[in-house]
A and B are shown apart, each in its own frame.
Chain A
Amino acid sequence: MADGSIGLWTVPLAVLGGAIRVSTPFLFVSLGECITERSGRINLGLEGTLVMGAMSAYGISYLSGSPWLGVLAAGITGAMLGALHAGICSLPRVNDVAVGIALMLFGTGLAFYLGKPLIEPTAPRLPAIDFGWWSDIPQLRAALRVNVLFLIGVALAPILYWAFRTTRWGLLIRTAGESSDAARAMGHSVLLIRLRATMVGGFLAGIGGSFLSLFYPGSWNEGLSSGQGITAVALVIFARWDPLLCLWASLAFGGAAALGPALQSVGVTSGYHLFNAAPYILTLAIMIITCSPKRTLTGAPAELSITR
């Protein structure tokens, strides 16, 4: 089929491809943030974690030749940043929102600093699985070149949903998030639960970063993340702290982010930046609609400072 004959179909195909490709970092960061926030703490530093993850994944993949080692390194880096966040927040009278902003500055700064020599070289990238082999439309085939990380993320959402409801550690995290007194009365250390939850959250956010540098867009530079970490934090609020809704919201945000460039490619150039801001506008709108001075957001962990 010739390139021109699909015409305006380019747009929905690009949105589909975008929903799959662009959404993966959103998915990982939001699932990680979901775990952290469910334990009663918010980590705004995941933007920094995402960029650090992207940088360390690229660096390790370049040095070792194995992109999967890079993914692992990104996760470990993220977990370490999460531990730093949780460690500082464990101190009395420390504001977790402010620590998040500090770590956002620190993470991005450190990533730019250490990543300076990595802008030039090319690291081995993650392989893609071709789900579009049955089609002869190049755009559709491009849209269906799916990365394994995306599939892992998609599988992770229902697993987390299930784990929050039924497993022991899921209940512990929720207890810490709903009432730290109750968790303490049961003989558990709230700080330790939150430390673990923040580390797991950082681990996932780091992996989300590795997707950026090792698959799509698939290189390391300082403009790699355009605030996806912050968007994902907003997305968790949008998804009401529900891992399954996080999955759908990530896909929607990914599609929305792909809509601007797709429209540009068929000649609609205005509104490009407004489409990019769509996730933020949507999240703000959701908060305006569902909040009220008398009650907090439904589904919000009661211990979370931002919803009180």
Chain B
Amino acid sequence: MTTETADPVSAVGAVAPAADAGFLQRHGATIEYVLIPGAALVGALALFGIFVALFGKNPLDLYFYMYQGAFGTWFSWQNTLTRAAPLILTALCTALPAQLGMVIIGGEGALLIGALSATSAALALQGMPPLVIQIAMVCAGVIGGGLWIMLSGALRQYRGVNETISSLLLVYIALAILNHLVEGVMRDPASLNKPSTREISAVNMIGTIPGTDVHWGLVFGLVAAVAAYILIYHTVFGFAARVAGGNIRAAKIVGLGVGRLILTICFLAGGAAGLAGMVEVAAVQGRTNANLAAGYGFTGILVAFLARQNPLAIIPVAILLGGISASGGLLQRRLGLPDASVLVLQGIIFVFVLASDALYGRIGFLKGKS
């Protein structure tokens, strides 16, 4: 990440003053979008270093093992990418509605409902060819998660219920539904200690990308992020969404169907998170149980904010955050840090990134005035 922050700085220093005065005028905003979150990230890492130093650990060891655990070896890269896959998808659940100016924080709920729907589809279709089952799982996951967040969107549009609160409440309702079904009608009698549904059986799992241990969920995530980017920035629909997000009254005056926009975007957002749930079932867990509530939905919110709600920027940010959580194990083993240190670091990063929002448009040399 240090290289990313260093690049624009050196570019500014080398090119801007003499050779191309218009450079900053044209690219100042883009540079800001990389420089400010990058600086926030570096600041957060520095503060976390001080924090662990207070507990008698060497911060340099910390950074080394974090790098090792996240990106140091091919093994850790694979671990990182596996964790990044659901993060990309749950981040889209916050980033897409953000284009409309909505703050949806219920990705975790859509993930759980998506996982539950996908598992139900797979169990209902047992005996069919694996490809049919896999396609049915994708559809069920997307529709389940999509409808879940669409509910928040519909409540906002037709009842004026705040979408942030309703989506957060729906997380806990989704968790209760999942636990209720998993310990009730959907329970596999053989699962004694950890109530679970029956397994979707190994042939129906989506498997790994050839030559790696990374499952196909990563490709799902990449495709979804690129598709979301194209939808938002290169289609009429996306343009309409951004207009509505910028000024809802202007959008109504020019005759945009704001209700339809909200419902569609919320469905797509929830569908992405639901797909994350499907991926976790079909590539990792093989069944639905309470393990699925691992916090990917909440970390996804952080990813979306760090990526400034840009679907393409979500990809590197999700890999970075996936790396941080992948390094947790190594930090625990080598430095004896508690497993919660990843949570602490995520919290510090989040706080720094949000506080850095105040800096936009205020950095003198990026304003491009000469």
Contact = CB atoms under 8 A, between A and B. Distances in A.
Interface of A: 44, 48, 84, 88, 91-95, 97-99, 101-103, 105-113, 116, 222, 227, 230-231, 234, 237, 270-274, 276-277, 280-281, 283-284, 287-288, 291-296, 306-307
B105 interface: yes
Contacts of A116: 338, 340
Interface residues of B, number: 47
B159 interface: yes
Contacts of B158: 293
B358 A91 contact: yes
A271 B185 CA distance: 11
A288 B161 contact: yes
Interface string B163-198: 011101110110111011001100000000000000
A280 B173 CA distance: 7
Interface of B: 103, 105, 155, 157-162, 164-166, 168-170, 172-173, 175-177, 179-180, 183-184, 298, 301-302, 305, 337-348, 350-351, 354-355, 357-358, 360
B185 to A, nearest CB: 9
B302 A105 contact: yes
A91 B298 contact: no
Interface of B is mostly: helix
A291 B155 CA distance: 9
A308 to B, nearest CB: 8
Give me the 9 closest cross-chain CB pairs, A-B, nearest first. A106-B347, A109-B343, A277-B176, A112-B340, A102-B350, A91-B358, A109-B344, A273-B179, A105-B347
A104 B339 CA distance: 17
A105 B180 contact: no
Contact of B173 (A88, A105, A113, A284): A284
Contacts of A284: 161, 166, 169-170, 173
A116 B217 CA distance: 34
B347 A99 contact: no
10 contacts: A44-B168, A91-B357, A97-B103, A101-B301, A101-B350, A102-B350, A102-B354, A274-B176, A287-B162, A291-B160
Nearest to A90: B358
Given A94-B358, A271-B180, A306-B164, A106 B344 contact: yes
Nearest to B347: A106
Contact of A273 (B164, B180, B340): B180
B156 to A, nearest CB: 9
A113 B302 contact: no
B354 A95 contact: yes
Contact of A97 (B105, B298, B340, B348): B105
Contacts of A88: 351, 354-355
A237 B165 contact: yes
